[in-house]
Amino acid sequence: MPYIPLTPLRRTLAALVLTALALAAAGCGREGSPPVKGPAGSELPAYVVARNFTLPASPTWERAKRRGHLVVGVKEDQPYLGEKDPASGRYSGFDIEIARMMSAALGFPPSTIEFKTIASANRETALQNGQIDYYVGTYTINDKRKKLVGFAGPYYMAGQSLLVRTDENDIHGPQDLAGKRVCSAAGSTPAQRIEAEYPRADLVTYDTYSVCVDNLLTYQVDAVTTDDAILLGYAAKVPDELKVVGKPFSEEPYGIGVPRGDNALRFALDEALAVDEKNGDWRKAYDATLGLSGAPVPKPPPIDRYPAS
């Protein structure tokens, strides 16, 4: 991975950009920028905690019960999806709400969840070595990953897209990436797709997409690629600087990662998702989180419920 040192100008730019992002996040948008909307606690549904729920067939659930709370893997730098407030340490976003809904269905008050930030490249290991009970963080279900972990869901359908600076006029889709520096997260399906299908693009990977976005704003890369749901969140924070271009060029069904072989947990989560999609909680959570980024309002995709493995 090439390392580009920050020149003094770049350093100043980076500092300005970080300040702009911090101000936007704090709700003090510059003149002319739209007010920053974020989920107010009152708009989020309160999930009903299942009483007397037990799941003896799930070793993960049994271990959590003994521990007294769930440990859930998430992202912390993906606006409207999984975001951690650095001041309070609180997590918010659509994935966080899905994690809370699932917790309630499993009989654990959502307020007791211990969230752990886990990067894209480390999800399978975290589930395999018992660091987390389940994972909710823009995690695409695919056959390769199903050999390593289990997936409940999907609960949302995203698609790979491109984020560029508003002053960029040459990139409209993946076909325009030849010779361009494109940034994505290590271990992600979008990075793998660029490598496999657009080998003439100059791919750079980091642990997180927020580092890619900093690099884009400081002219160190030409585009960031990952799911539209993630990119729309970054663009919504600094709409004068960033735009999402073109049409999504893949299908990324988001699943809840569970330890492979814990079919009881996987099926319980599938059932819980079906209930929350029906009772309106899924939609309320969406409207109060991801819906605010301008992501198109979806119909939840059909739940997979693939056979025990």
Name the site residues for ligand GLU (rule: CB under 6 A).
120, 137-140, 185, 188-190, 226-227, 252
User: CB of residue 44 vs ligand GLU: minimum separation in angstroms?
Assistant: 22
Burial label, 26 (beta-carbon count in 10 A; 0-12, 13-18, 19+): exposed
- Smaller CB separation from ligand GLU, 124 or 276: 124
Separation in Å, CA 102 to CA 115, 144, 281: 13, 25, 11
Cα angle 193, 196, 202; round to 5? 85
Are 8 and 15 in contact by the 8 Å Cβ rule? The answer is no
Among the listed residues 164, 183, 159, 160, the one whose alpha carbon sits nearest the alpha carbon of residue 238: 164
Q: Across the strands, what pairs with 151?
A: 257
Dihedral sign for Cα atoms in the order 280, 286, 287, 288: positive
- Smaller CB separation from ligand GLU, 20 or 223: 223
User: CB of residue 117 vs ligand GLU: minimum separation in angstroms?
Assistant: 12
How far is it, in rounded angstroms, from Cα 249 to Cα 193?
Answer: 10
- Smaller CB separation from ligand GLU, 73 or 110: 73
- Smaller CB separation from ligand GLU, 159 or 239: 159
Q: Helices (DSSP H) in 83-238: which residue ranges?
A: 94-105, 123-128, 143-146, 189-197, 209-217, 228-237
Question: Is 257 in a helix, a strand, or coil?
Answer: strand
Residue type, 163: L
- Smaller CB separation from ligand GLU, 108 or 206: 206
- Smaller CB separation from ligand GLU, 33 or 142: 142
Among the listed residues 198, 201, 157, 165, the one whose alpha carbon sits nearest the alpha carbon of residue 181: 201
- Smaller CB separation from ligand GLU, 214 or 252: 252
Q: What is the DSSP letter of 251?
A: -
- Smaller CB separation from ligand GLU, 29 or 255: 255
Q: Count of H helices and E strands in the chain?
A: 10, 13
